[in-house]
Structure 1
Amino acid sequence: MLRTRRWRNAFTLVELLVVIAIIGVLVGLLLPAVQQARAAAQRMQSSSNLRQIAQALHNYNATHNVLPAIFHGGYGNRYGSYTAYSQILPYLDGVQNYDLFNFSVGSSTGSSGWAYGPNSTALGKQIAVFVNPAAGRDRAPTGFNYASSWGTMDYVLPCVVDYRLSGGASPSLNPDYLDASKIGMFKFYEPTKFSDVADGLSKTFMVGDGVGGDAANPYIAPAGAYGASRICLPRTAAESGNAVHYDNYAYQAWAFGLSGSSYMQDQTSVWGSIVATTVDKGGNFYPPNDCAYEWQGSPDATTGAQQMANFRGPHPGFVNIAMGDGAVRSFTDSIDPETYQGLSTVAGNEIVQVGLE
């Protein structure tokens, strides 16, 4: 009797290893493409966010005939009460959050309006368009508590913004210290009109990348290191506990706390970094994506030059900036200093060509 031999279909060890190797090669080829596609999508979303913010500023101007000031002066014009970002909420589908604010407090009291206890609900609601999807940042501390004469605020995550308004090329944005030939589209306390933009909206910065958080800013320049003496060093654990965090609290104005205050857990101070300038405190060129520098002294708006942030994004080599006409353009880190500073001012009469950046 003949028996039929049955063969079992199976991979040999060699064949299995070959298949695994082929799959590994394919994954290796596909992964960069997937990452590039994801990065491209994030850049497109970030550009869309900038366009929406620029459009909201245009809509605010259409209603009020001016652009909002970076922040509005509070008690003694020292503590800013509310920022431009709180003012444009109604034009960003944030009208419900806007209605949560009590803007009547902080203008003549000893406490900033954002420190008014009942305002904590509004400050804690994150607006999606304010967040750069490519930031990958630590966002904000896990807790926030501030006790003031108006009551105690206690919430988990204050609203943050990853985009900065353009303050121009003046070392100070205080109206009393402004360099009139180098002002940008936004300054402290005082609004700007589109008619002030003599250089043309299409050739003037409006709002650009300004990613916050220590994860996005691992380097820092020593205090007082301006111009040629500037050097970027890795942030130390001690420096991570000081005031240079660039977390960009959207509604909290230019406020600061004394040592031992409880603004943000273990931090001793809070600095409003919702505005960027193209020069540092010493008036030197402050290029895009350059590192932050350690705060030195008080940025009190009643003094002279304040230390400002620069435009800084999550994409190596360039930043995205929305011009005054709403168009979003990319500017490389190696951009010519005169061109860069000229584009940030409203009436410097500089001859610059957008497109050579």
Structure 2
Amino acid sequence: MYGRAKSRSRTGFTLIELLVVIAIIAVLIALLLPAVQAAREAARRAQCTNNLKQIALSAMNYESSNGCMPGGSYSATANNPPGVYSTYPENFSCFVRMLPFMEQSAMANAVNFNWTSSGAPNLTIGGVRNSTLICPSDTTNETMQLPATRSSASGVSPGYSFNTDPTLFPSPAQSFSQAFTSYAGNAGTFSFGYSKLMDTSIISQYNGVIFNDGTVTISGISDGTSNTFMFGEHSKGQLVKNAPQYGLSDGCWNSGRYYDTLFGALYPINLLNGNSAAIKSYTYFYPSTAGSQHPGGANFAFCDGSVRFMKNSVDSWSFSTNTDSYGDSIPDNTTYVTVAASGSFSKSGYYLSHSSTNGSARLGVYQKLATRNGGEVISSDAY
């Protein structure tokens, strides 16, 4: 009698089964990865919202103590120590003035207000990074080492234009550390370079909340604090991407220059993210455009302390065939204004402005939210 052969037990997977398992795992990972990335971006956007809320509360505390909102900068005086001030007239940014209200009293005490923001004694604070001023999604926003002087060709290398004093900048230490910001104050429907020698009638056209030599009070925001921007995102990453020769040094957190810590609503949100067909020169107004690294829009803090996400699709001025002297497209309902300026704080033709042609010019919802006292009616479902 013959015994039955014992059956052999399987000890592993076949090649086909293994490949099927790997394929299933790959599909699951492919499905899960976008969800993980979306969750991470949602967390970064939430942190950005919190940053803007803290900045807005700091500005309101500043207003309570000083009787007005912080100015975008306060112009440099003519009696600064000679030879070491920046050629730019704008002085300390609104963020420097707000330091005591941002739990940064030690840094505020280190500021030497007898010198300009770009004066050598103030370079140390310029290199201090404040996490509240950095959007987590703005990943290009890292502290950099900048040269203290530019090359002869403007914009070829980043940095300030110092007449350096050897006693303050001993050779070869002709560089300094600089930190940046992802946020900017709302200057209104436009933002432009400033000179204390500029025509005051042009300066008076600022219709935002935070601008050069500004003294806006809460009562002066007659459009309503819940309908007026105070701060918005101003992505360092967009500045670097679109104009590396300038963007490397644009966005300095302690500088009051319009392309550093101010934004205007002249151009749509995130114009610099893929809408560069109309951009020929990055030197003047485009760098003061609001934008972010968040998909679809940017965060804005309102004067009531709330923070809202504004979509790229919000109603805004459209471009026209009109151009400025640099060949860049300018929006409808605007007029290009060249401001003549002269003196030690200015360059001929450097200071430019855009302003509405008349009080009845059509404003987009975005522009309406940027004005503090335009008297516009804005529906809550329009943004």
Q: Normalising to structure 2: TM-score of the pair?
A: 0.70
Aligned positions of 1:227-242 closer than 5 A: 240-241=244-245
Aligned positions of 1:77-116 closer than 5 A: 79-105=89-115, 113-116=116-119
User: Residue 260 of structure 2: which of 259, 268, 273 is its match?
Assistant: 273
Look up the equivalent residue of 1:116 and give its one-letter code.
Answer: G
Look up the equivalent residue of 1:100 and give its one-letter code.
Answer: A
User: Residue 314 of structure 2: which of 321, 335, 345 is its match?
Assistant: 335
Contact 2:145 2:178 in 1 (8 A): no
**Which residue is equivalent to 1:196?**
220
User: Partners in 2 of 1:155 and 1:141 — Cα distance?
Assistant: 10
**Which residue is equivalent to 2:134?**
131
Q: SS where residue 164 of structure 1 aligns? A: strand
User: Residue 270 of structure 2: which of 289, 296, 299 is its match?
Assistant: 289
Contact 1:165 1:275 in 2 (8 A): yes
**Which residue is equivalent to 1:162?**
182
User: Partners in 1 of 2:287 and 2:25 — Cα distance?
Assistant: 50
Contact 1:203 1:343 in 2 (8 A): yes
Distance 1:133 1:342, change over 3 A: same
Q: What is the Cα deviation at residue 137 of structure 1?
A: 1.6
Q: What is the Cα deviation at residue 145 of structure 1?
A: 3.0
Moved more, 123-132 or 149-158: 149-158
Number of residues of Structure 1 aligned to a counterpart in Structure 2: 299
Task: Tell me, yes or no, if structure 1 residue 187 matches structure 2 residue 190.
Answer: no
Task: Tell me, yes or no, if structure 1 residue 355 matches structure 2 residue 381.
Answer: yes
**Which residue is equivalent to 1:11?**
13
User: Partners in 1 of 2:249 and 2:224 — Cα distance?
Assistant: 30
Task: Tell me, yes or no, if structure 1 residue 317 matches structure 2 residue 343.
Answer: no
Contact 1:120 1:154 in 2 (8 A): no
Distance 1:195 1:336, change over 3 A: same
User: Partners in 1 of 2:130 and 2:92 — Cα distance?
Assistant: 16
Q: What is the Cα deviation at residue 141 of structure 1?
A: 4.2
User: Partners in 1 of 2:191 and 2:378 — Cα distance?
Assistant: 21
**Which residue is equivalent to 2:71?**
69
Distance 1:246 1:167, change over 3 A: farther
User: Residue 151 of structure 1: which of 156, 168, 171 is its match?
Assistant: 168
**Which residue is equivalent to 1:252?**
255
User: Partners in 1 of 2:225 and 2:10 — Cα distance?
Assistant: 75
Q: SS where residue 208 of structure 1 aligns? A: strand
Distance 1:189 1:308, change over 3 A: farther
User: Partners in 1 of 2:296 and 2:185 — Cα distance?
Assistant: 20
User: Partners in 2 of 1:178 and 1:205 — Cα distance?
Assistant: 21
- Aligned Cα RMSD in Å? 2.9
Moved more, 50-59 or 146-155: 146-155
Q: Deviations over 1:250-306 (max 9, x none)?
A: 10233xxxxxxxxxxxxxxxx742111112xxxxxx11111275245xx7xxxxxx7
Q: Deviations over 1:100-159 (max 9, x none)?
A: 211122xxxxxxx22332322211110001111011225454444355347227666412
Contact 2:185 2:211 in 1 (8 A): no
Aligned positions of 1:293-304 closer than 5 A: 293=279, 294-295=281-282
Distance 1:103 1:158, change over 3 A: same
Structure 2, unpaired ranges of 5+: 80-87, 150-161, 317-362
User: Residue 206 of structure 1: which of 230, 253, 275 is its match?
Assistant: 230
Q: What is the Cα deviation at residue 331 of structure 1?
A: 1.7
Look up the equivalent residue of 1:289 and give its one-letter code.
Answer: N
Distance 1:6 1:142, change over 3 A: farther
Distance 1:253 1:24, change over 3 A: same
